[in-house]
Amino acid sequence: MLKNKIVITKLDQERILKLLKEGYSLNSNQYLSQIFEKEIKKAQTVKSEKIPPDVITMRSKFRLKDLGTGKRYEYTLVYPQEANSEDKISILALDGTAVFGYRKGEIVRWDLASGTKFYQVDEVIYQPEAAGHWDL
């Protein structure tokens, strides 16, 4: 789950809250979905034009570095219906909620069944807002 207060776009906030209202849930778990909804509601929101370019927003492509192994991974953060490959992470999956709103250089903690992993946001390769794509 999200630990820090994050910065997100108002549009992303509206779309995610709408998904949750429509019955989508975080990993089919209503409790986790309620926690995520609270975090999204209390996040710092800004207009799409004002979001810093190093923040992971919806449809951002980013690189993570596993701090345990040094290995790097590239992903794109997407809506549930778009998560059709290994390199696309759904916003309503635990790993999607973990990275959403984080910035380059920040440490992301993932609590997995196999143990806790720590990743650093290595780079935001593409962010729609930074590219002038305000409504993706």
pLDDT tens digits, 97-110? 889 999 999 999 88
Q: Would residue 52 count as lying in a domain? A: yes
Kindly report, residue by residue over 20-32, the tens digit of the pLDDT. Answer: 888 887 777 777 8
Q: What value does the mean pLDDT take over residues 6-35?
A: 87
CB 21 within 8 A of CB 119: no
Nearest to 63 by CA among 74, 54, 71, 55: 74
Residue 98 is part of a domain; what is its CATH number?
3.10.50.30
Q: What percent of the chain has pLDDT over 70?
A: 96
Q: What percent of the chain has pLDDT over 90?
A: 64
- Structural domain span for residue 98: 7-126
**pLDDT averaged over the chain?**
90
Predicted TM-score (pTM) of this structure: 0.90
The SS3 of residue 27 is: coil
Quick one: how far is CA 37 from the chain centroid? 13
What angle is formed at CA 56 by the lines to CA 24 and CA 63, rounded to 5 degrees?
110
CB 62 within 8 A of CB 124: yes
Position 2 scores a pLDDT of 43
CB 77 within 8 A of CB 89: yes
Q: Would residue 114 count as lying in a domain? A: yes
Position 23 scores a pLDDT of 84
Q: Would residue 132 count as lying in a domain? A: no
Q: Would residue 113 count as lying in a domain? A: yes
